[in-house]
Structure 1
């Protein structure tokens, strides 16, 4: 008996020891498929970390939720490693990595090479020449030689290959410490993708350079109009005088942009684009044993070499506030920044937690003390982590009549509370619960997984710490946070940037050089492209939504409930959807904002915020023009408590005149600020162009109506909200019947709904002549929109619309992008779409866009108008557009609550089927003539309204009048107040 008990004790001890071992989050090593890899125990993403023989890192995170793969090829080289005399170089190279090699991007490299060598030499001569007259002569020769070279090159062949294999979101980005190339591909195209990428990084050829350089100039000029970018640069220059974070900008100086060196760019590539300085990150639908062999086979040609270390002198402590000032047309605001250690340190993780204590959207110190009490228009705090250092950023926008110094004092006052420990320890528990929920949601997305893995690789963050985040946070005490705050957040050790509204007298834009449009050879194909296209790809069948089978239905009281079951985890999302919005009642959007400042007789507004956050749940009321939605999300275990909490607030909220006074002040300031925002100005012009002087954009409360607003009026709207007809949407672990049973007990609605208030309707106006709507804004750029209202919606037209957009102006391989950016270098950003309406009664419309320098306005308008008049033909581009559509539809999986919203969108259009099916079934029936007929019927020779936001100091009325009747609405006409 004693031996038996000993045996039982031994087995129990072994069992509990094994349980403890399973709960330990640690690095382990394993081998499979002939390769050794590392992994983290307990990692829900099942990510594998490989180091290949040549030093290349491969990070693979398999998930079969969708038949697609998010791909990053990332190089640990960014603006921090730019040579001091060639800033912006890493960013230049990023652009040029899309131009091809000696095998693609050209029709005959041997014939092209002498021209490229000559261009190289001319740029070196150009850079070393100071005499402006001589520089202009050299540039003429560069332009001429580039034109000859372009006759042999093939612009955008990389983009065409990615489009033909079903790639989406093809792009790249450069930051301080890395350059990342990103693609989202069908899993069936992985062999084509790896073949292309291996070739792309083998021997990039720096062709079509001077037009791409002009695109970078445009990007630089856009930053000169970006007040937030200017604040960021001033803040970093003050925080990091010894580190290239502050000494250099990613896009570079104007002087260096004007004097590029292809030789320096090439040297940079050979120095940093080596396997031991790179990673391939793949997340999606694949077998990792098969994938790692493919990656190794394609990239084993790369040879490692030593990487020059980036060194810098450590930053000295800040002993007194460092003040900077920025001027620009946007509204004033204030930024305060504290310096912290780098991303891989424990202090950086504590910083993230501390940022959540200050701002988490619900119950942080800033949330409750500054936003909820409406002491400022906006206030936020958050961490910005980099490899060498991290930053705590405090951002604040004043209410009307408030000085920036008052904003400073309010934000620093909350920092003082943090240092004194004037916050509840429960807040840390709430943050842990919310982090747990957020990680579940994050890990569901193959795109987010890849992004997180890539960022950790760049900043040297241990993936184990990411996996262990919730465990680690749950052990941190309030005392530790207070000690941490007192260590780093002293009274004088910060940088403060005052952003004033006013003219920036220091702007020097990059001047437009004379550029002769170059050939793009849209119909040409390299042998390499033909080889890639000929590679076999596994055929995939599209999966379309069956609205009868894929959606569960039930009744919750008098409301219809539509549901999709979540069989993967404990997350729920719930929606109450009303066919009612601001067109029914202009007060509804105000009431939707007002509720966050209200309490009941037993709970304050702050109590509700804390309670929702403690449950790791949230709610939001969104009032659109015709549809309003109450949305919830959280963990199913807290579903009942979440809904009950909201229903209590909605039914029992009390009018609060002080809260309304604060809201009115905030709304007035926000309305003033909107008039200083170029994006809002553009939206106002576009709405005016579509609907006329009275339009949805300016259908809002007048100043007088806002002043006369009563608290009881808003509360009455909220109290009646459940009485209006609405449907319930649920995505979560329960079935529709189970959910309906639970919700009926919680969501109280009447036996018969009350009718919606009468709706104001707006009808699009058809223009019979060209017009120009102009809004003055102090900036370097000009924002140009082409607007034309078209005919009524027809579902039979959808396939043609989809193909037209994919061929004409919906991406980097389209006609608009190739002609306006690649050939003529007129813009950094340009697009053109034919847009179908959201409901069957509405009209289609066309929108085109070019963001360019003001001195290129006439040339830009001329170029877009040429494309609207005559559609260039490229049979190869059309084939690529069709293949992209085919493979995108084959691999697109609408899942979760996306199924419910897709169904509702179809309903509004009068459809009872998945519209993608019609497009897919019609692809083979459409050809270039289909696209041309559509183009000619809808756009050719038709009147347009040009909406232009620019500085009247840079563009004359005479220029504008050339394009149509000139109308300059004043701000009150545009905004309605």
Structure 2
């Protein structure tokens, strides 16, 4: 599962935090025999039902795509964990995927007493302090778990969801919510509700033994996550009395070692009750029909009183409270001011104030700290919780800057806020940008559902959401200034200094002795068969016709590709150049430089403010092979947006101070990359695919960077429009109308300059196994298998899609996850994928991954290698994979500017048709024999490069040499600087 501390969307928090009274009153209506509430003028057309048992149902219909985003949300999380069993809500979330007495079992009558025995053994284990006795009890747990697993069917839930075409099956736990999420085809609502109603009826804590080890792995991942450690330290300082600070979502190491199934069930019985839960759905459905189905499915649930959460109020912070955190990643400063709870009157301006500090363009932090390059990065924002709110400030130092200097710079911006030293029209600019964001948000069924779910779990009144723009417009600058002076000073904050260095306080969760269990992956319960047999109405797939679906026109001599926006007044525009950093190493640097430049009449800050005031934005992005200028905004400001950018690009002036600061920031960023495990792994993977000289380390060396002059970069920028490019447009106008407007504002020469010759990189063949190793101070070991394969062939696309789904990317129903996580408990995260290229000239490649405790390295490598050698057979699994791929394709709708992007992607592969159609039509005839032939041809007995990032203290060279020739590139070889 993924777990995240959710920052409440700006849409919802600001609605809580504005003092103005809204005129949007709740109304009531009846349809289909059910009464619901709604808010007039709500663009999401959401209906809010409360069923007889107290279950909240929120339905937001939209027919743009034949899919439905669903959430089942429980208003309980780690805040309500028992103090002696932290991490319990998170455990329970994992167990809600294990089935009930009706599914997930081969024989419930025989499984039940064994699970009862395991319950009792865990209670003994939990209450025993003698380590020798604990080891003996654990052996009994391991033995009993193996016996019980003989009757378990692992991942039946995931198989049912995959079979109905579900995507992104997952769940997450945070302080005050546990949420179960699915994205299903519109024709699968009946199946979905049958499965969900059964899922929450009587969850059985089976296969707990190995799932507990997955949670151990997850805990170890957090111990390697510096950002997580900073957040936990910050909340501990802010909330010494509240469980926000006293407990963490995953729990303590000690509590992880001593789980209680009895307490997990008690938690379920206390909080998983209908009057504490909500079913939220947005997508293609008839709400009059769906509400009745939901009622019928969940009416068995009985309401009960929910245990109240009690805490002692926090004392006022009268002087800064400090903590130091150590880890291998870059240094940073996190500051936090505590506010009253999100539903109090005094908290209602918090998020708007955060936007005045940081909005990405014209906030105080944006202009004074980022634009002027005083810090490597700086952000501010609000975090709303039920009991308290928080204003978070984060900053990263430039080279030679102390963490206290970072603190002082951020506090300086707070002082400006208190003094009202910000633009008088900034609040109106925020309103304009919020209008744009709301238009974007309401187009997507998934975003709608996410907003509604967040509002439900955080207690936001939806009528305030609908009245957001009016409320925002009523806020005045004096109100913000008064609010800032009331709550912000130089003393009432907490601060966490993140230092680069060894964390000597890490206590990892050690690997317990676990015997792999039989997961019976090929078995099926009668319930699964019953769900599979439920009838559905077919959904016809929709294929793109690039000739009909894309309008074509001219903007002077430039080609225009366009799709009309018939939904709202937003536009997106792109200038696309078929060149990038491989053509000119200076181009990516010039793209960065532009954001710090002005012209003879406007400063860089002036441009940022002007774009933000228009509720428009632009970005110049130079990739390896393609450079794109992207614009978005309201169509009414289309011409003004282009004019502003063209003025900046063609008339930008050199700024030596800005370039010097940019070079210093780049060098500091490069230093930070070298102490970032993900960046190091990316380098190893590029090395594995292309050899020592590869795309990852191709770029300016530090010496070359030093030699670059402002004039070099200004020349690149001023000449950009001299190179051939195309115009892409999505908006309310036709291609011809957009082309004519662009032509009048976007000046290009009569003939274009030829692109500079691009550097070439060729994927290398591995003739023997190789190990690329990089040392990193971490608890886990991260391992990738990399192998370059055959040239791109569209005829094998169907095999690739089904094989990936069956083998390594099909979620918990895939072979890799079932074997390495569910059966052997070797990892929290693992996958495998055969990857096709983005252009015809490139080759396919294969990548597999497992992140495991370092002391499991040998077992993890053997486990994956066994699967690469022998493909486990499951004809039902093949049919499941086929169904999932076909149903995903038939309900996928490529819309808006994604139509144009799909065409350009196909063109790079030398295709002039929608490849999904031939893939879809090829899938039905596929069998396990086809997948085995694919596995034999592309994976079995092949040479691989193992990319491993781990600590030399935990992994030996002798172990690494077992798998191939050991190579340890130094950081300069990996990064090129």
Q: Do structure 1's residue 334 and structure 2's residue 333 form an aligned pair?
A: yes
Alignment partner of 1:66 is 2:65: yes
**Structure 1 Cα separation of the partners of residues 925 and 316 of structure 2:** 69
| Alpha-carbon distance in 1 for matches of 2:620, 2:927 | 45
Shift of 1:714: 0.5
1:929 match: 929
| Corresponding residue of 1:418 | 417
Query: Conserved in 2, the CA contact under 8 Å of 1:281 and 1:453?
Result: yes
Question: 1:342-381 residue pairs with structure 2 within 5 A?
Answer: 342-381=341-380
Q: Give the C-alpha shift of residue 349 in structure 1.
A: 4.0
Q: How far off is 1:253 after superposition?
A: 0.5
Q: Is the 8 A contact 2:556 2:740 kept in 1?
A: no
Which deviates further from its counterpart, 485-494 or 527-536? 485-494
In 2, Cα distance between equivalents of 1:597 and 1:510? 47
Paired residue secondary structure (1:210): helix
Query: Are the aligned partners of 1:72 and 1:183 in contact in 2 as well (CA < 8 Å)?
Result: yes
- Residue matched to 1:808: 807
The secondary structure found in structure 1 opposite 2:255 is: helix
Which secondary structure state, in structure 1, belongs to the residue aligned with residue 763 of structure 2?
coil
DSSP-derived class of the 2:663 partner: helix
Contact 2:60 2:448 in 1 (8 A): yes
Q: CA deviation at 1:340?
A: 1.3
Please name the residue that 1:835 is paired with: 835
> Which residue of structure 2 lines up, in the alignment, with residue 823 of structure 1?
823
1:233-312 to structure 2, matched below 5 A, reads 233-312=232-311
Return the alpha-carbon distance in structure 2 between the equivalents of residues 86 and 303 of structure 1. 26
1:700, distance to aligned residue in structure 2 (A): 1.2
Provide the secondary structure at the position in 2 that maps to 1:241. coil
3-state DSSP class of the match of 2:719?
A: helix
Q: Is this contact kept in 2: 1:570–1:732, CA < 8 A?
A: yes
Q: Deviations over 1:218-271 (max 9, x none)?
A: 000000000000000000001011110000001001110000000100111111
Aligned partners of 2:934, 2:776: CA distance in 1, in Å?
36
Alignment of 1:547-566 (within 5 A): 547-566=546-565
SS in 2 for 1:697: helix
- Answering whether residue 853 of structure 2 is matched by residue 850 of structure 1, we say no
Does residue 765 in structure 1 map to residue 764 in structure 2?
yes
Q: 1:962 is matched with which residue?
A: 962
State how far apart, in whole Å, the 1-side matches of 2:201 and 2:229 are: 37
- Could you list the per-position Cα deviations for residues 702-751 of structure 1 after superposition, in whole angstroms to 9, with x for gaps in the alignment? 11101111001101111111111111110000010111111110111112
**Separation in 1, partners of 2:869, 2:340:** 57
C-alpha distance in structure 2 between counterparts of 1:370 and 1:413, whole Å: 10
Are the aligned partners of 2:23 and 2:467 in contact in 1 as well (CA < 8 Å)? no
Q: Distance in 2 between matches of 1:252 and 1:381?
A: 28
Per-residue displacement from partner, 1:589-633 (whole Å, max 9, x unpaired)? 110000000000011100000000000000001111011111000
Deviation at 1:348, TM superposition (A): 4.0
Q: State the distance in 1 between where 2:704 and 2:341 align.
A: 51
Could you say which residue in structure 1 is the equivalent of 2:711?
A: 712
1:129 maps to 2:128: yes
Instruction: Tell me the equivalent position of 2:865.
Output: 865
Q: 1:108 corresponds to which residue?
A: 107
Shift of 1:577: 0.7
Q: How does 1:140-151 map to 2 (within 5 A)?
A: 140-151=139-150
Q: Which position in structure 2 is the counterpart of 1:639?
A: 638
Per-residue deviation, 1:313 = 1.2
CA contact (8 A) 1:781 1:851 kept: yes
SS of 1:548's equivalent?
A: helix
Q: Deviations over 1:293-330 (max 9, x none)?
A: 00001000000000011111111110000001000000
- Partner in structure 2 of residue 697 of structure 1: 696
Q: CA deviation at 1:347?
A: 4.2
Q: TM-score, normalised by structure 2?
A: 0.97
Alignment gaps of 5+ in structure 1? 1-22
The CA RMSD over aligned residues, in Å, is 0.8
What is the CA distance between 1:342 and its match in structure 2? Answer: 2.3
In structure 2, distance between residues paired with 1:242 and 1:129: 29
Instruction: Give me the whole-angstrom Cα distance separating, in 2, the residues matched to 1:151 and 1:870.
Output: 23
Residues 719 and 703 of structure 1: CA distance in aligned 2, closer, same or farther (over 3 Å):
same
> Following TM superposition, by how much is the alpha carbon of 1:24 offset from its aligned partner in structure 2, in angstroms?
3.8
- CA distance in 2: counterparts of 1:26 and 1:835, whole angstroms: 52
Matches within 5 A, 1:669-818: 669-810=668-809, 811-818=811-818
The aligned residue for residue 11 of structure 2 is none
Deviation at 1:482, TM superposition (A): 0.1
Structure 2 Cα separation of the partners of residues 891 and 570 of structure 1: 26
Query: Cα distance, 1:379 vs. partner?
Result: 0.6
**Cross-structure match for 1:900:** 900
Contact 1:564 1:732 (C-alpha < 8 Å) held by counterparts: yes
User: Within 1, Cα distance between the matches of 2:306 and 2:274?
Assistant: 10
| Residue segments in structure 2 that go unaligned for 5+ positions in a row | 1-21
- The residue matched to 2:789 in structure 1 has which SS? strand
The DSSP-based 3-state class of the residue aligned with 1:851 is strand
Q: Distance in 2 between matches of 1:171 and 1:973?
A: 39
Decide whether the 8 Å contact of 1:387 with 1:458 is kept in 2: no
User: 1:526: which partner in 2?
Assistant: 525
The structural deviation recorded for 1:341 is 2.1
Instruction: Report the equivalent of 1:9.
Output: none
Q: Name the SS for the 2:695 alignment partner.
A: coil
Q: CA deviation at 1:918?
A: 1.1
Mapped to 2, the partners of 1:914 and 1:488 lie a distance apart of 57
Q: Answer yes or no: is the 8 Å Cα contact 2:827–2:852 preserved in 1.
A: yes
- SS at structure 1 position matched to 2:527: helix
Displacement, 1:355?
A: 0.7
SS state at 2:29 partner? strand
Of residues 77-86 and 341-350 in structure 1, the stretch that sits farther from structure 2 once superposed is 341-350
1:619 aligns with 2:618: yes
Q: TM-score, normalised by structure 1?
A: 0.97
Number of residue pairs the alignment of both structures matches: 955
